Amino acid sequence: MSREPVLRVAGLSVRLGGSHILQGVTFDVAPAGVTALLGRNGAGKTTTLRAILGELPATGSVAYDGREILGRPTHRLVRDGLAYVPEDRGVFAGLTVAENLRLAERVPDPDYALVHELFPELATRAGQRAGTLSGGQQQMVAIARVLLNPNRLLLVDEPTKGLAPAVVTAVATVLARVAGRVPVLLVEQNLAVVRRLATDAVVVEAGRVAWRGAAGELLDDGEATRSLLGVGRH
């Protein structure tokens, strides 16, 4: 397999509401496994994902599978296998689980076998309105939706936020399985999840990359995690 990065972000800059939110963010996403995008609240993690996806006006360069994509419309990137699981999960509360999944189908042969293998509970809850699911179940629907289609890269924003510890573990288990098939760029505040899943880490601080390297190296460095992420050792 090629070791070329699946995504190369270089000098990515975003200005919003008169503020220079991203100030030249540069990092690569490896072609396999999980790359964690870390940083304190407000550092610019979600903005980075949305700029990659073409949802925000940005300058710099984003190469996806070696091709420049900055400025291309979001729907074309999604069609080309760049999938996004947003922090708010974006499920349609008034629709059933099955309807939420059906709306996400982009190909003639969506991979329901994979979805039902990873999320057996979604089959039994197919007729339940998504708005009545627990937060963890809604997160599963959000991840399942993108897995129905062939993907080259998943961008996943804080999938464990607000979930109970046992559910965090379940979501991490699913993401570990998913990352065995397709590379993931993961925004995650839970450093135990990062330690379990991530190979590489990128830390954003005030709109710039403050640290890049092996995730284990960052997490083993108590001083670095304290100064960059504001937390003690995990």
Q: Which of 13, 23, 46, 61 binds ligand ATP (CB under 6 A)?
A: 46
162 binds ligand ATP (CB under 6 A): no
With contacts defined by CB under 6 A, name the span among 36-44, 136-144, 148-156, 225-233 that binds ligand ATP. 36-44
Q: Count helices and strands (H / E) in the chain.
A: 10, 10
What are the structure tokens assigned to 136, written together?
């963890």
Q: Which is nearer to ligand ATP, 128 or 189 (CB)?
A: 189
25 binds ligand ATP (CB under 6 A): no
Q: Which of 4, 16, 134, 181 binds ligand ATP (CB under 6 A)?
A: 16
Q: Which is nearer to ligand ATP, 32 or 206 (CB)?
A: 206
Spatial contact of 189 and 203, defined as CB atoms under 8 Å apart: no
CA distance 29 to 183: 8
Q: Which of 5, 36, 47, 62 binds ligand ATP (CB under 6 A)?
A: 47
The secondary element (H helix, E strand) that includes residue 62 is strand 59-64
13 binds ligand ATP (CB under 6 A): no
| DSSP track, 122-182 | HHHTTTSBGGGS-HHHHHHHHHHHHHTS--SEEEEE-TTTT--HHHHHHHHHHHHHHHTTS
156 binds ligand ATP (CB under 6 A): no
Report in angstroms the alpha-carbon separations of 121 from 103, 128, 136, 144, 164. Answer: 19, 11, 11, 11, 17
Shortest Å, Cβ 43 to ligand ATP: 4
Q: Which of 12, 25, 34, 45 binds ligand ATP (CB under 6 A)?
A: 45
Q: Which is nearer to ligand ATP, 8 or 40 (CB)?
A: 40
CA distance 166 to 102: 28
164 binds ligand ATP (CB under 6 A): no
Q: Which is nearer to ligand ATP, 39 or 183 (CB)?
A: 39
Shortest Å, Cβ 96 to ligand ATP: 29
Q: Which of 19, 113, 127, 166 binds ligand ATP (CB under 6 A)?
A: 19
> Among 78, 127, 75, which residue's Cα sits nearest to residue 101?
127
CA distance 71 to 57: 8
Number of residues near ligand ATP (by CB under 6 A): 12
| Binding-site ranges for ligand ATP (CB under 6 A) | 16-17, 19, 21, 39, 41-47
